[in-house]
Amino acid sequence: MFAVEDRAVQIAWAWLPSSDMTIEIGDQRLEVGIAPPAWYREARGGRPVRVQGGQPLPARAGPGAVTVGGLEPSTTYDVCLKGPGTPRTKVASATTLPKPPGRLLARFASISDCHIGERRLGLFNSLHDPRPRPRGMVPYPTRCARAAISEAESWGAELLVAKGDLTQKGTADELYAVIDIFRSAAIPVEAILGNHDIRGPLKAAEVMSSCGFPVSREPRARDLPGARLVFGHSPVPDLHVGAVSAPDAAAMARLARDTDGPVVVVMHHPPQRWLVETHYPPSISWPDSTRLVSGLVAANPATLIIAGHTHRNRRYPVGGLTVAEVGSTKDYPGQWAGYSVYEGGIRQVVFRVAEPSAIAWTESTRRVLGGIWGWWSPGRLSDRCWTLEWPNRVVAAS
Ligand SMILES: [Fe+2]
Ligand SMILES: [Fe+2]
């Protein structure tokens, strides 16, 4: 059970016993079972083997995900699976989230850490697209990002927010590839830069801005019905740690104060939770984090901070505010987040990117760091799916 909303859930699987399975939830039946793409490398007996398109596919079907709508809020459902040789078996249960208070006012989506231009992954660069790539296949960061945007649009997002590390090295080719992706979106795009974007010799902000995507380091705001988005700049050249200068923190607090409603602050780096950093890559430095968060709390206690950078899903309080990290589109589990803005709160739901060639890639990245990545990155359901009732009451999925 990867995601729960008030009226929908997303079920994801690493594999199924056959490609002819049925999932039952409530009174709905879904035929599922996706044969893995021909290039999908599946680990068997510890050795990666290629599943050839022309050869018989393995009995079991590849990774996939399906979103099931039409459910009732605050209701627990059994999820059952059946198919050839598999009797009807309960495999999971799901409890939908309650509906947040008031009317639904707006929906937006976020993507993070697309790293367009990355070619390989893993300690020994052992994970990569097939070489040569099959005709028509675009590199994995691009197909994951495009699929995430397409699925966010289908979900109903009216705005896309890209939270930095758009590129791997900030080169011209990579930046123009990002611009190409954003231009193909059917909804407006707001973007900020990450540490990877400012690695290159180019001024990424100037390139992006000249193509219609303003990513200047000065804080800025965009108002949606029911919430103001405030965008901040946190990357530092040649460093993984983030920083927010005193003038930037003051400007962000001003933007949070000068609005009647709640605020969602969008950063690449999250603020640091503890005095001592407990994970890698590092967040915004401790002094900058405390200054930023205390300024925001004083300016507008109905503030949520959303970030990327860590390629993992987490939710935690910092200085009285809720902070949500959402992982990368292209690393296991491969995700985007949908935000529903209500009169009385905001709901975050993190979905796996479900397009078959994207999820086949992200599933293969589960084994990075000897499999630790597959355990570390997804976070708990309560990290991914929750409602924040303004100013600071969290109702999380469980
Ligand atoms: Fe990143
Ligand atoms: Fe980053």
Query: What are 210's strand-pairing partners?
Result: none
Q: How wide is the angle at C-alpha 298 spanned by C-alphas 295 and 299, nearest 5°?
A: 85
Mean of per-residue pLDDT scores for the chain: 91
pLDDT at 10 over 80: yes
User: Using 50, 70 and 90 to split pLDDT, how confident is the model at 369?
Assistant: confident
38: which residues sit within 8 A by CB, 6+ positions away? 51, 52, 53, 54, 134
Q: In this structure, which residues have their CB less than 5 angstroms from ion ligand 2?
A: 165, 194-195, 309
Whole-number pLDDT of residue 169: 95
| φ, ψ dihedrals at 16, nearest 5° | -125, 155
How far, in Å, is the centroid of ligand 1 from the Cα of 309? 5
How far, in Å, is the centroid of ligand 1 from the Cα of 242? 12
Whole-number pLDDT of residue 54: 37
Q: 30-44, 88-102, 187-201: which has the minimum mean pLDDT? A: 30-44
Query: What are 237's strand-pairing partners?
Result: none
- The alpha carbon of residue 127 and the mean position of all alpha carbons in its chain are separated, in whole angstroms, by 21
How far, in Å, is the centroid of ligand 2 from the Cα of 244? 14
109: which residues sit within 8 A by CB, 6+ positions away? 149, 152, 153, 155, 157, 159, 160, 161, 336, 337, 338, 339
pLDDT at 110 over 60: yes
How far, in Å, is the centroid of ligand 2 from the Cα of 344? 32
Whole-number pLDDT of residue 338: 98
Q: 129-133, 162-166, 343-347: which has the minimum mean pLDDT? A: 129-133
Whole-number pLDDT of residue 133: 81
User: Using 50, 70 and 90 to split pLDDT, how confident is the model at 36?
Assistant: low
Q: Which ligand is nearest to the CA of 192?
A: 2
How far, in Å, is the centroid of ligand 2 from the Cα of 356? 26
366: which residues sit within 8 A by CB, 6+ positions away? 14, 332, 333, 373, 374
Supply 340's token pair.
């529903």
Measured between alpha carbons, how far is 82 from 31 in angstroms, rounded to an integer? 10
Supply 274's token pair.
């503890």
Q: Which ligand is nearest to the CA of 267?
A: 2
Whole-number pLDDT of residue 216: 80
pLDDT at 386 over 90: yes
Measured between alpha carbons, how far is 63 from 332 in angstroms, rounded to an integer? 12
Summarize the confidence of residues 200-224 as an average pLDDT: 91
What tens digit of pLDDT does each residue of 52-70 get? 333 444 456 778 899 999 9
pTM: 0.94
Q: Which ligand is nearest to the CA of 194?
A: 2
Summarize the confidence of residues 197-221 as an average pLDDT: 90
How far, in Å, is the centroid of ligand 2 from the Cα of 242? 9
How far, in Å, is the centroid of ligand 2 from the Cα of 8? 31
| pLDDT, greater one: 240 or 133 | 240
Q: Which ligand is nearest to the CA of 281?
A: 2
pLDDT at 324 over 70: yes
Q: Where are the beta strands (DSSP E) in 156-259?
A: 160-163, 189-192, 220-224, 227-231
Q: 47-51, 110-114, 187-191, 345-349: which has the minimum mean pLDDT? A: 47-51
Whole-number pLDDT of residue 176: 96
How far, in Å, is the centroid of ligand 1 from the Cα of 73? 34
Q: 43-57, 74-88, 369-383: which has the minimum mean pLDDT? A: 43-57
Give the architecture-level CATH label for domain 104-396.
Answer: 4-Layer Sandwich (3.60)
pLDDT at 136 over 80: yes
How far, in Å, is the centroid of ligand 1 from the Cα of 93? 32
What tens digit of pLDDT does each residue of 150-170 get? 999 999 999 999 999 999 999
Q: 17-26, 40-49, 69-78: which has the minimum mean pLDDT? A: 40-49
Helix (H) or strand (E) holding 140: helix 140-155
How far, in Å, is the centroid of ligand 1 from the Cα of 244? 18
Task: Indicate the domain borders of the chain.
Answer: 3-95, 104-396
- The alpha carbon of residue 277 and the mean position of all alpha carbons in its chain are separated, in whole angstroms, by 22
| The one-letter amino acid at 112 | S
Whole-number pLDDT of residue 34: 66
